[in-house]
Structure 1
């Protein structure tokens, strides 16, 4: 007899980013923007919490139950310290965490939800994995694309720490809305269900309307 396996439903939603006005609305801070969007939608205010080394809030998401939101105020490569402190305080398991962050290997307009995996070169995720002691926790990667021209290696830092171009504003707004849908589905029905519904969406594709119908240490900034 196959044992009944309950779906993974996160309760702590973490957006990765860098603190400070100079990093506000940059590509690397898209995780912060997703959490801000969720905060506004659910009416869950986040305020600085010294014990968590970040902005933290808790409340209820309609149809999804109790949620906790966190934006670490450490630099990106120390994000795991903040996440670990919340897990320890509330005695949460790693699989109850959903970490939301930018991914340059995905184009703008795409996202990728996973139940586990490696850091993929992302320093914030390296820190999270190190402090949680496992790779077995959900994560939502939000595409920010690659530099439009020139040498990718030389321009990577300026790209991720740069702001989205004016002609990308509409697509950014749409992907934030899609992130909200994806997160709410994961909270309500489980991460695996949300993966099946949203991982193949491409908001930049010209036939998007058809798709939607068919699918229904030292602180460092980078």
Structure 2
């Protein structure tokens, strides 16, 4: 199974750090955020990675190279214009192949064990959901009996973590260009094609200086 790290975000809320450094290369405890993902994926047995990038993306390629020093092979999907999550994944499909693949948002920090995603995919998507953080109290989707729904009275309303397994067929009706992933997921949910799980471990959306500082604190404590 291949894995894709989404690394095309501009990271405007992390300025001035991201004025001259792409968000995935912003460091926490001296290590670029994206390197934590690469190492965790390698440890989980993923050997073929795809990384998309846009803003200052060449710096990401220069830093990670072909992935050999991490024990993986990395291919890059360079976006001239940011394509949003859905468009970015669609653009990279030729590199990902015809089988289900893992997607990881490059701007989250987590101790989730990626090996747990190396399972057969029953539908079109499997999402990892987490407790609603303070900055997103309303959540995204409802998880009930292992199925994810856009809304409902049964089950908990949780936040999409940015970790998922997707089938290329999810994008069957798409065309090149910028588009969001969420509408595709909601359409698949309506057809009962999205499973999910609730993860209660460490997960931080590193979108602000405050949350980056929280990651720094956790890493320092772990040491």
Alignment TM-score, normalising by the size of structure 1: 0.37
- Higher helix content, 1 or 2: 1
Alignment TM-score, normalising by the size of structure 2: 0.36
- Higher strand content, 1 or 2: 2
